[in-house]
Structure formats: structure tokens, C-alpha cells
């Protein structure tokens, strides 16, 4: 077989050259990079190189963007351009695929049509703008498709709140920390790459909000989007706070119970006392009677001043607890609250109260899922000007789960709860005799 030398019109600059070496050294790489760094060109050329040098029989490689039309606009012309110097390539405009002379295929896909990805094998994939993809695209489709041929994957993007991309970055960091060589996390902010002139950066800083600039150019996952209700900075600060019992012992104990709807959702019981939220109880696979029993146990143990239960899915639990003579309050997330001129529904109002509690020093357990759930929702405004929280189903679609923990904690803010009298003092007061002036005079006279 005759060998032909081919020169691809690509000259990687820093940091692309360094990134290519790291891509080659690790099976799963997460690249966090600022806007206009050249991520797509880098990704396309990595696919071309690996499709040529991997030596897989009928190799199959993919570039995946959130939407097929987006993938075509971003990467298809680059793929054709950088393979133009390779002879005998077969281009299929309909499938957005190129077959190289060694019979390896590189194809462009959109994550918006996951069915087109099912049933395929992959020797390597680049997932670009991962923050906009549904988590199941990776977990249910791409990852299994890499297994039998031990394919590799590259995740590329810019921080954009809590989503699949932030989860993959955290996963890569955790795997690296355990010494697993397959995983690599990389961050390239604009101050490191020096790709964009300083004068242009000055203009960007003036024209963008601080959070936008931190996300888009400094690659800061801790920067909240401007429409995020609770920032990651706020949540992480709350997870690092600790209070002595004397700091909250006089505050009322409140329970919030978010009852599971279906499937993978969980029932969560959250206990809060003043500025302290305690580790939640997470329940899966139990019916209403069993959930009610679990709540009853918590009531007996902690003597809460109030118990707030989500009435949307928890009516059976509420009815059972009332049959057991427990005093519980039902809360309709979609119902109107006392401040209906400001908040569209109770859910938005409770989350707003929870946000203020966090801002004022609230402490939460250092649970990663809870932190992600709290920082996940965005909010906006209705046509009437009332604040409204991102729907629960939309959050689940974006981060791959329902924010049950955060909703349970939010329920503890459903209504003001007055301080509860110390039970020992209450008992003493209840046992006191009514004041009798004649008896008091007689007792005093006898003591003389």
C-alpha cells in the first residue's frame, strides 16, 4: 500500500497545543474554556487526527452539539475545510458525515434528536456546549456506546450554572483526586490564554455584567447567571457555616416535607431550626402510609412548632397524619401566597424567603446534591410583573433530577412560625394553680 503524506491546514497555538497533548493522554477530558478561544476548531481537528491514527476498524467518531442545526452551522464547514487536503474522502451532505480513506467516519449530530444516536457505537466523541444538553444524552446513550470499543470522550464548554457540564467537570475533578488516570479536567480562562487583546477585554468588562464576564471569560463556575435565583457562591458559603446549639436553640423547629411525584423523584423531610438546616431524610419507594409513619417519627423526635407538607402530591400523607392526630399544614406550590402582587405563586415566595435566609447567614449540610439543587433554578417575571421560578419539570430536564431536597427546605419557609415555649417551662406553667387572692393572703399570714 502506498503511503501519502497529508498536511492539514491547522497550526495549533497555545493553549491548543497543550490541550491536544492532554486529550491524547486521557480517555475522558473536560475542557472549560472561555469564549472565542477556538474550541470548535480544536475539537474538529482532534477528531480528524484520532480518526486517522487510532487505527480502529470502521472507526466511528462524532461531533455532538446541543442542536443539529447549530452543529451544522458551527462545525460542518470546519470539518470539510480541514479534511479537504485528504484525498479520496467521501462527503455526505445529508448525513453531515465524512468517510476518510481508512474507512473511518466522522459525523455531525445534534443532541436534540437523541434517537439518531441510539444503537450506534462510537470510538470517540466530542460533546460541545455540554451545558445545553440533557444529562441522559451522556448517561443513557453516549457512555454505553463507548463501552465495547473503549472509546474516548471530550466535553467542551463554558460555565453556565448547574447542568450536565458542571456535573462532568465535578466528576472529572473527583476522579482525578482519586488518582484515576483516565479522567482530566482543564480550565483555560482569558487571563491564562491571552488570546483576546487587553483593550478588547476592557470593553467587555464595561459592557457585560460581572457575572456574565466571570462565566464567559474567566470560566468561573461559581458565578451565577443573572437570572439565577441563588448563586453558587451563596450556597457554598452556607454549606461552610457552623453554629453552636446555643445560637439556635430558642428558635422554633420546623419540618418541610416534599412528597415524591413519580419515578426517580424522592420524598424529602427537612428539619430547620432558626439559621440551621439539618441533614435531610431522603425516602424512595414508599407509599403514602409509610411516608406518613416516617414523618410521624420525626414529629415525635423533634416536637416541631409546625410541619409544612406539599399538598400537590402529599394529600394522602396529610390525611394519614391528621388521622393520627398530628397537626400539619398543607401547602400548594402553585397557589397564591399573601404577597401575590410580588410573587406568582407560593413556590416562588418560599424560595425567595429561603434565598434571604441564606443571604442572612443560613447554614446547610455540606451535601453536593442539595447545593446543586439550590443553585439550579432561574427566575423571571410574568406579564403582570410578578416573580416566577423556573418550573420543576424544566429543572429536571436540565440537571437530570427533580430538586426535591431544595423544595423540601423551601417548605420550611411557607409561613412565619412563632418561637416555641420551652417544653419544661410550659409544663411548669400548666401545672400552676390559678391565682386566688384569699389563698395568697392566708399563705402570707401563716408565714409570718
Q: Measure Cα distances from 437 to 377, 434, 447 in Å.
A: 62, 10, 15
* Dist CA 271 CA 256 (whole Å): 7
- Which segment of 88-92, 195-199, 209-213 scores lowest on mean pLDDT? 209-213
> Domains of the chain: which residue ranges?
15-224, 232-412
CB burial of 224-260 (b: ≥16 within 10 Å; e: otherwise) equals bbeebbbbbebbebbbeeeeeeeebeebbbbbbbbbb
**Of 23-27, 141-145, 435-439, which gets the smallest average pLDDT?**
435-439
pLDDT at position 374, please?
94
- In this predicted model, what pLDDT tens digit does every residue of 336-350 receive, in sequence order? 888 989 999 999 999
CB contact at 8 A, 128 and 39:
yes
Model confidence at 435: pLDDT above 60:
no
Sign of CA dihedral 26, 27, 31, 36: positive
Give the strand pairing for 105-110 and 97-99.
Answer: antiparallel
**Cα angle 93, 97, 98; round to 5:** 105
pTM over 0.75: no
Which residues are 330's β-sheet partners? 309
Helix (H) or strand (E) holding 187: strand 183-188
CATH architecture, range 15-224: 3-Layer(aba) Sandwich (3.40)
Say if 15-224 and 232-412 have the same CATH topology.
no
Place of cell 467518531: 61
Chain mean position to CA 314: 25
> Whose CA is closest to 350, among 288, 270, 420?
270
Q: Does domain 232-412 have CATH number 3.40.50.150?
A: no
Q: What is the pLDDT of residue 228?
A: 86
Mean of the per-residue pLDDT values of the chain:
90
Phi, psi of 60 (to 5 degrees): -135, 120
CA distance linking residue 33 with residue 30, whole number of Å: 10
User: Is 310 within 8 Å of 261 (Cβ atoms)?
Assistant: no
- Residues 244-261 have a mean pLDDT of 93
Confidence tier at 444 by pLDDT (50, 70, 90):
low
Amino acid at each position: 500500500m502506498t503511503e501519502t503524506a497529508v498536511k492539514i491546514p491547522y497550526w495549533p497555538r497555545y493553549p491548543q497545543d497543550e490541550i491536544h497533548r492532554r486529550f491524547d493522554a486521557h480517555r475522558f477530558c473536560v475542557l472549560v474554556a472561555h469564549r472565542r478561544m477556538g474550541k470548535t476548531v480544536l475539537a474538529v481537528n482532534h477528531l480528524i487526527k484520532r480518526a486517522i491514527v487510532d487505527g480502529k476498524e470502521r472507526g466511528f467518531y462524532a461531533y455532538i452539539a446541543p442542536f443539529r442545526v447549530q452543529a451544522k452551522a458551527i462545525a460542518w464547514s470546519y470539518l470539510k475545510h480541514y479534511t479537504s487536503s485528504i484525498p479520496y474522502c467521501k462527503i455526505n451532505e445529508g448525513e453531515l458525515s465524512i468517510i476518510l480513506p481508512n474507512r473511518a467516519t466522522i459525523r455531525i449530530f445534534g443532541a436534540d434528536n437523541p434517537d439518531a444516536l441510539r444503537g450506534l457505537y462510537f470510538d470517540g466523541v466530542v460533546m460541545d456546549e455540554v451545558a445545553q444538553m440533557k444529562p441522559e444524552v451522556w448517561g443513557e446513550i453516549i457512555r454505553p456506546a463507548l463501552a465495547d470499543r473503549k472509546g474516548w470522550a471530550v466535553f467542551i464548554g463554558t460555565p453556565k450554572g448547574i447542568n450536565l457540564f458542571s456535573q462532568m467537570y465535578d466528576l472529572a475533578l473527583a476522579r482525578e483526586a482519586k488518582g484515576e488516570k483516565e479522567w482530566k479536567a482543564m480550565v483555560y480562562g482569558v487571563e491564562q490564554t491571552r488570546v483576546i487583546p487587553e483593550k478588547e477585554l476592557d470593553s467587555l468588562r464595561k459592557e457585560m455584567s460581572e457575572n456574565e464576564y466571570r462565566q464567559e471569560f474567566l470560566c468561573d463556575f461559581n458565578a451565577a447567571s443573572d437570572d439565577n435565583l441563588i448563586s453558587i457562591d451563596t450556597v457554598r458559603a452556607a454549606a461552610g457555616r457552623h453554629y453552636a446549639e446555643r445560637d439556635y436553640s430558642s428558635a422554633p423547629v420546623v419540618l418541610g416535607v416534599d412528597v415524591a411525584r413519580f419515578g426517580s423523584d424522592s420524598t424529602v423531610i427537612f428539619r430547620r431550626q432558626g439559621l440551621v438546616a439539618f441533614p435531610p431524610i431522603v425516602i424512595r419507594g414508599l407509599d403514602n402510609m409509610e411516608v406518613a409513619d416516617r414523618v410521624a417519627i420525626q414529629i415525635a423526635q423533634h416536637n416541631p412548632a409546625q410541619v409544612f407538607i406539599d399538598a400537590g402530591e402529599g394529600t394522602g400523607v396529610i390525611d394519614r397524619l391528621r388521622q393520627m392526630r398530628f397537626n400539619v399544614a398543607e401547602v400548594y406550590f402553585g397557589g397564591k401566597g399573601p404577597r401575590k402582587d410580588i410573587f406568582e405563586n407560593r413556590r416562588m415566595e418560599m424560595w425567595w424567603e429561603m434565598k434571604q435566609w441564606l443571604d442572612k447567614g443560613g447554614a446547610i449540610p455540606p451535601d453536593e446534591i442539595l447545593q446543586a439543587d439550590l443553585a439550579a433554578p432561574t427566575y423571571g417575571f410574568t406579564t403582570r410583573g410578578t416573580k416566577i421560578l423556573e418550573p420543576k419539570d424544566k429543572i429536571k430536564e436540565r440537571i437530570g433530577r427533580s430538586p426535591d431536597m431544595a423544595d423540601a427546605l423551601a417548605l420550611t419557609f411557607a409561613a412565619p412560625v412563632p418561637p416555641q415555649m420551652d417544653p419544661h417551662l410550659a409544663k411548669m406553667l400548666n401545672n400552676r394553680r390559678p391565682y386566688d387572692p384569699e389563698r395568697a393572703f392566708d399563705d402570707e399570714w401563716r408565714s409570718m
